[in-house]
């Protein structure tokens, strides 16, 4: 299995030793060694079924396979990068926040509820499941916030990146926090997460 390592907070190294890694198409900024690149198509690692879902839902995820021996340097828009380890669980992530992942991980499309309608990100989101490493992008250092039954979490949809664990997501209307910062025109929407898990956010709005 390929090994991911941060070269800096904004550059990811994919170390290959005759194996394969997967990344967003166009994320390669440099490479060393004997590496080949091949598009996996619109279905990514989810196969034909995921491709059909993506075409029907409009959820965009263009991936490429990187195969060979050497090191590939990956980056996107000088955004911050954070590695997340999955151990048989599932990560729900905005496709625009996904940079790279192990080929053992599977991607699919899931309904995002009204979160997408409020944030402009679409009604559907990408899921990544299995065992392996996922590299996520954020505008500024990514923040991981725990959700527990005693302490539900409310998040601005524009700051949301991903979530994992046994959490349920609901869509709420709350104009009070926008009134405080002077953005009281129109209706404000928030995401509430209940259960047990982790929600990843960025310190900036889309």
> At residue 52, does pLDDT exceed 70?
no
The tens digit of pLDDT for each residue in 66-91 reads: 999 999 999 999 999 999 999 999 99
User: In the chain, pLDDT over 70 holds for what percent of residues?
Assistant: 76
> At residue 182, does pLDDT exceed 80?
no
pLDDT bin (cut points 50, 70, 90) of residue 186 is very low
Count, in order, helices (H) and strands (E) of the chain: 3, 12
* Residues 3-201, CATH architecture: 4-Layer Sandwich (3.60)
pLDDT at 157: 86
Q: Which residues are within 8 A (CB) of 77 and not within 5 positions of it... i.e. 6 or more apart? A: 137
DSSP string, 130-183: EEEEEEEEESSS-EEEEE-SSS-EEE-GGGEEEEEEEEEEEEEE--HHHHHTT-
> At residue 48, does pLDDT exceed 50?
no
Strand partners, 131: 87
| DSSP-assigned letter for residue 188 | -
Whole-model pTM above 0.85? Answer: no
Domain ranges of the chain: 3-201
> At residue 47, does pLDDT exceed 70?
no
| CA–CA distances in Å: residue 8 to residues 11, 31, 98, 112, 117 | 5, 15, 17, 32, 34
pLDDT bin (cut points 50, 70, 90) of residue 174 is low
The tens digit of pLDDT for each residue in 100-117 reads: 999 999 998 876 655 444
> At residue 65, does pLDDT exceed 60?
yes
pLDDT at 197: 96
The tens digit of pLDDT for each residue in 150-167 reads: 999 999 888 999 999 999
Averaged pLDDT of the chain: 83
The backbone torsions φ and ψ at residue 158, rounded to the nearest 5 degrees and listed phi first, read: -70, -20
Instruction: For residue 42, give the nearest of 27, 29, 28, 24 by alpha carbon.
Output: 24
Instruction: For residue 118, give the nearest of 156, 168, 145, 91 by alpha carbon.
Output: 156
| DSSP-assigned letter for residue 114 | H
> At residue 1, does pLDDT exceed 90?
no
DSSP-based three-state secondary structure for 1: coil
- Asked whether the beta carbons of 80 and 41 are under 8 A apart, the reply is no
Determine how many CB atoms are found less than 10 A away from the CB of residue 165: 15
pLDDT at 191: 87
């Amino acid at each position: 299995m390929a090994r991911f390592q941060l070269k800096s907070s904004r550059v990811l190294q994919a170390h290959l030793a005759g194996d394969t890694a997967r990344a967003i198409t166009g994320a390669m900024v440099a490479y060393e060694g004997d590496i080949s690149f091949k598009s996996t198509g619109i279905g990514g690692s989810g196969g034909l079924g995921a491709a059909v879902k993506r075409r029907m839902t409009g959820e965009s995820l263009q991936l490429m396979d990187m195969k060979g021996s050497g090191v590939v340097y990956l980056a996107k828009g000088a955004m911050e990068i954070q590695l997340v380890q999955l151990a048989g669980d599932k990560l729900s992530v905005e496709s625009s926040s996904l940079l790279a992942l192990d080929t053992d991980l599977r991607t699919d499309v899931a309904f995002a509820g009204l979160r997408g309608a409020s944030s402009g990100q679409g009604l559907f989101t990408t899921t990544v499941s299995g065992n392996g490493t996922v590299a996520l992008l954020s505008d500024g250092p990514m923040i991981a916030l725990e959700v527990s039954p005693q302490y539900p979490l409310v998040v601005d949809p524009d700051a949301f990146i991903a979530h994992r664990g046994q959490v349920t997501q609901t869509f709420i209307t709350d104009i009070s926090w926008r009134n405080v910062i002077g953005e009281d025109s129109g209706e404000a929407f928030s995401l509430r997460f209940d259960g047990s898990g982790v929600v990843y956010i960025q310190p900036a709005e889309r």
